[in-house]
């Protein structure tokens, strides 16, 4: 069985916060591929980046996403960069994918300029802007729906995403 919904978006868009609340609202489980990766590696993501590098992290990420798509039945949140992999984008075809859209000011406020986010360690604001610009077309490519999160409370976003789902 496939996940009820897959959440994608930039760092700070609310995938984990909205995902947990949405799963609770729907009475299903919540799964975050970043958590799956940390469990597989036995260490936090920043340590994976430091010890093995981004390429190794992306390999783990592709495996985590494939496993979650194959075995999940609830709400699935993907890491912000998961859509960079062509095979992940292909695997998302046929799934209900909601892009939680966020603009730079809200993302910066929510992310806190890089704490625990290895790709944002140097010049976090400029790096986050670059990541968002690079990934936005990929989020649009995989999304079946887009929900704007800027200036909204998580409960408002959860209500909008829930309303998009079949009953």
pLDDT score recorded for residue 73:
79
pTM, 2 dp: 0.90
Residue 135 known to bind ligand:
yes
- Give the 3-state secondary structure of 127-150: HHHHHHHHHHHHHHHHCCEEEECC
Residue 25 known to bind ligand:
no
Both structure tokens of 52: 């093995």
Both structure tokens of 42: 């036995």
Give the three-class secondary structure for 101: strand
Domains annotated on the chain, with CATH: 5-164 (3.40.50.300)
pLDDT score recorded for residue 107:
73
pLDDT score recorded for residue 82:
96
Residue 17 known to bind ligand:
yes
Residues of the chain with pLDDT under 50: 114
Residue 20 known to bind ligand:
no
pLDDT score recorded for residue 117:
53
pLDDT score recorded for residue 16:
93
pLDDT score recorded for residue 112:
61
pLDDT score recorded for residue 121:
55
pLDDT score recorded for residue 142:
97
pLDDT score recorded for residue 124:
67
Residue 16 known to bind ligand:
yes
């Amino acid at each position: 069985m496939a996940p009820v919904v897959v959440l994608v978006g930039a760092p700070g868009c609310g995938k984990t916060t909205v995902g947990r609340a949405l799963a609770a609202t729907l009475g299903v489980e919540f799964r975050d591929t970043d958590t799956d990766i940390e469990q597989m590696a036995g260490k936090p993501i920043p340590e994976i980046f430091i010890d093995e590098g981004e390429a190794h992290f992306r390999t783990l990420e592709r495996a985590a996403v494939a496993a979650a798509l194959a075995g999940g039945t609830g709400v699935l949140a993907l890491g912000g960069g998961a859509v960079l992999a062509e095979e992940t984008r292909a695997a998302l075809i046929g799934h209900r994918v909601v892009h939680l859209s966020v603009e730079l000011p809200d993302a910066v406020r929510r992310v806190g300029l890089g704490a625990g986010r290895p790709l944002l360690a140097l010049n976090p604001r400029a790096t986050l802007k670059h990541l968002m610009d690079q990934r936005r077309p990929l989020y649009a490519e995989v999304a079946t729906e887009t929900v704007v999160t800027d200036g909204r409370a998580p409960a408002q976003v959860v209500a909008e995403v829930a309303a998009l789902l079949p009953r």
